[in-house]
Amino acid sequence: SGNSCVCATTCKDTATVPANATAVKSNCTACGQTYSIVTGFTCNSGYTKSGNECVAQCKVGDILYSDASCSSSKVSGKTAIGVVAYINGNQKLAISLTEKSTYWAYPGGDEDVSCIMNYTTTQTAATDTNGLMATRCAATYNTKKDYQAVKYCYNLKPTNSGIGSSGWYLPAAGEWNNIKTNYNAISKGLTNASGTRLSSSKYWTTTESGASSVWTAYANLGIAGSDGKGSSYLPARCLLQF
């Protein structure tokens, strides 16, 4: 540099620290000097990493967006896809903003879906949390019947990108049992998200009780009983793992 030699250090920050985060720093040595550079970041308590940002951690009743972020009130410019319905450790479930009244199977419902296990008592039905697997199975089952409730969730795509573009499923009986205690928070979240409120009617599940019947559940009470696949016309509401 002119008539002198200066250190051409390559020690420069390699990351930008967003709001609600703390810098992660490392030492870098060049030209006999040690520099402290930013190499990453960790999100502060109550926040989680989403791309290059730290967003508030999701809570039951929060609105869930297609970018996997959450908020208690609707955020302009973001695509709301559901409401957080259940959190247990790393297991997080969101409920859809919409529902559809339909038959479980049409025409009729006297066919046992062989890839779905039958549960004959309320107690055993409450242990079934395999709604995702059952939905994928029934939606693609080789049959002449139309599994309408299952297919409604299987085909639900409220946004073209992000976590809501696929993966919705009809809950199993045990999953309705798990989220029933969060009924009030979910209802408030659906209102905040301008979604369809939960019905007072029974809801379809993927849990079979026999060849021609499946277990149904109330959103606020859990498992209700067994209804005919092709004789009852009930709402289907969907869940998403995120």
Query: pLDDT value at position 69?
Result: 87
- Mean pLDDT within 192-213: 96
- Please count the CA atoms within 13 angstroms of the CA of 170 that sit on its side-chain side: 34
List pLDDT tens digits, range 72-116. Answer: 999 999 999 999 999 998 899 999 999 999 999 998 777 889 889
C-alpha–C-alpha distance, residues 180 and 203, integer Å: 12
Query: pLDDT value at position 239?
Result: 97
- Mean pLDDT within 181-187: 98
Q: In 10 A of CB 78, how many CB atoms?
A: 15
Strand locations in 173-233, DSSP E?
203-210, 213-218, 222-228
- Minimum mean pLDDT among 53-67, 69-83, 151-165: which range? 151-165
Question: Is the distance from CB of 66 to CB of 58 less than 8 angstroms?
Answer: no
**Which of 222, 122, 216, 217 minimizes the C-alpha distance to 180?**
222
- Minimum mean pLDDT among 39-43, 47-51, 128-132, 184-188: which range? 47-51
List pLDDT tens digits, range 129-145. Answer: 999 999 999 998 877 78
Query: pLDDT value at position 144?
Result: 75
Residue 2 has pLDDT above 90, yes or no: no
Query: pLDDT value at position 205?
Result: 98
Residue 118 has pLDDT above 90, yes or no: yes
| Predicted model pTM | 0.81
4, 72, 119, 163 from 55: Cα distances, Å: 48, 12, 41, 16
C-alpha–C-alpha distance, residues 14 and 43, integer Å: 17
**What integer best gives the mean pLDDT of the chain?**
92
Structure confidence at residue 164 as a pLDDT band (50, 70, 90): confident
